[in-house]
Amino acid sequence: MTAYNSDYAGAFGLFAFGDLIVNGGNIDVFTDSPTSYSRGIGAYDELVFNGGYTVVESIADHGDAGALFSYNKIIINNGILDLCTSGAVAKALVAEGSIDISPIYGDVDRDATCLYLEPLSAQTFKKQHASSANPKTGVDTSTSEAAVAGAVLIMLIGLAVAVGKREAQV
């Protein structure tokens, strides 16, 4: 979905006058308003994500941009969200009430202009994530993975030595 408004009314992508609940599927929203505000996906009451893959880009050259917004509360329980905003004032998450994000995402910068939210459990079987200068969240590079790999390597070397000694005795 694409929304563009060059007037002062702003650009809205998806909006619900009650609760907006996303349970799955793919959503791709682009909003642009050069003179006013730009909002990607929003709700008057609660904006809830329970699954799916959501991409939102919201641009407001002289106004404020928000990828997800609610006049009440944003709740992110599950799903993959790729959110990016740019403008005079830009925040990926904008809510007049609270912003509740499930702990399965790890630590999330709620004031970031761009966020990539993927549940940590889904990242286990994917390629290794590396830290970057981008204001995105995700799995930080840690030494625990290197420590586990080193321990496994030492155990394999020990096993090879034990098998070699056993064959020498036979």
Measure Cα distances from 39 to 16, 87, 122 in Å. 12, 11, 28
pLDDT score for 50: 93
Q: Which of 108, 88, 41, 96 shows the shortest CA–CA distance to 72? A: 96
pLDDT score for 70: 94
Please give the helix or strand (H or E) that residue 94 lies within, else none. Answer: strand 73-95
d(CA 82, CA 84): 7
Task: Provide the sign of the torsion angle of the four alpha carbons 150, 155, 158, 164, taken in this order.
Answer: negative
pLDDT score for 4: 81
pLDDT score for 170: 62
Q: Which of 20, 25, 23 shows the shortest CA–CA distance to 39? A: 20
pLDDT score for 143: 64
pLDDT score for 134: 42
How does pLDDT run along the chain (170 residues), one tens digit per residue?
A: 888 887 777 888 899 999 999 998 899 999 998 888 899 999 999 999 999 999 999 999 888 899 999 999 999 999 999 999 998 888 999 999 999 999 998 888 889 999 999 988 655 444 554 444 444 444 444 566 677 778 888 888 888 888 888 776 76
